[in-house]
Structure 1
Amino acid sequence: MYFDLDDILAESQKLTGNFQMEVDNLGFLMNNTNNAKITPREKLELPFWLITALTFITIYEESKGTTRNIFSVERPEYLSKLASNFYKASPLNADLSVVSHFYKIVQKWCDFIEQPELVDIVSDMLILRAGKINDLSFNISDSQSRENMEFLQTLDNHEKEILKVTSESYNDFKTWLNSK
């Protein structure tokens, strides 16, 4: 079986959430003693893989005749409505380097919580940014300008890989043309 390192790193990204009820013997999640209680108002930073598992656990409350999730997750700031609006308005100015596996995390978040609008916004942003990355790969001398250097510093890991592959492809193409 093959595990993608980028998937593993994306799923280890910490998100914030809280239990919806008092929970005994999970104090180690908050660096307390193992038998400490966690109350509903206490915020926890947990890896994405654990949060996805916890949010699917439900309990049945017999007295109310309803089920409820035991854990709820907060939307990360970089996936907020405000951030989405910024990505839509100014995709080339978004600094994705602050979340090194941005696109993988968005993919996993949208698989976890269905958000077709966010998928569309981030897809459009990736297309525009990949176009600029492609242009910079083709014209290496243009990449030395202050504006382009600033743009290159905002790339996430996936975009850095696109830059590497397109640069190598253009260099290989030039070598091939010169050999004819």
Structure 2
Amino acid sequence: MLHLSLQKHCGLVGIHGALMAEEDGAVGDVNREALRRALMVFEPVTVASRPDEPTSALTTGGTVEGTLIGGNLDMVSTAAGWALPDLNGAILLLEAVNMHIGQVDRQLTMLRKAGHLDGVAGIALGQFTGVDLDRRFSIIDLLREHLDRLAVPVLGGLPLGHGRQPLSVPVGANAILDTASKTVTVAL
């Protein structure tokens, strides 16, 4: 929420990332390096899709450029109307944790019907963890139903969120989403 508000009101770049501990209680080496690069290296940060992440099945075609905005779906939908930056021309980053499929549906429906997703250039999908993936109508089916309506490039499978070995990435900066190379590259 803080990143969204700072982007909207001040134009500041933030870091969307997991500083949480891995199962052994330590912050993973992969994320530690991603966070170090995002904070201390003056070159683009590239995050590659992982084919074993369930949202990778939602990848479509296309390449777009825009400001990478977003993060946790619950925070994005809660920010609508007061702290959510204008998403026109943006690449919307979405991830979620411990939500029921009905909650995800309500939040995406509200964002779409209220016009917040109008003009979005592309969607970067991170990890949707703690959501039942084995239902007859899964979270993947639900996301596909909502995102297909936007008719924009979608890159799924990004290791961003609360799943296995999540990474840190700058938000509020210019990015290129490329479904052919299955990467999001953020320039600082």
> TM-score over 0.5 for the alignment?
no
Looking at secondary structure, tell me which structure has more strand per residue: 2
Q: TM-score, normalised by structure 2?
A: 0.24
From the CA coordinates, give the structure whose radius of gyration is larger.
1
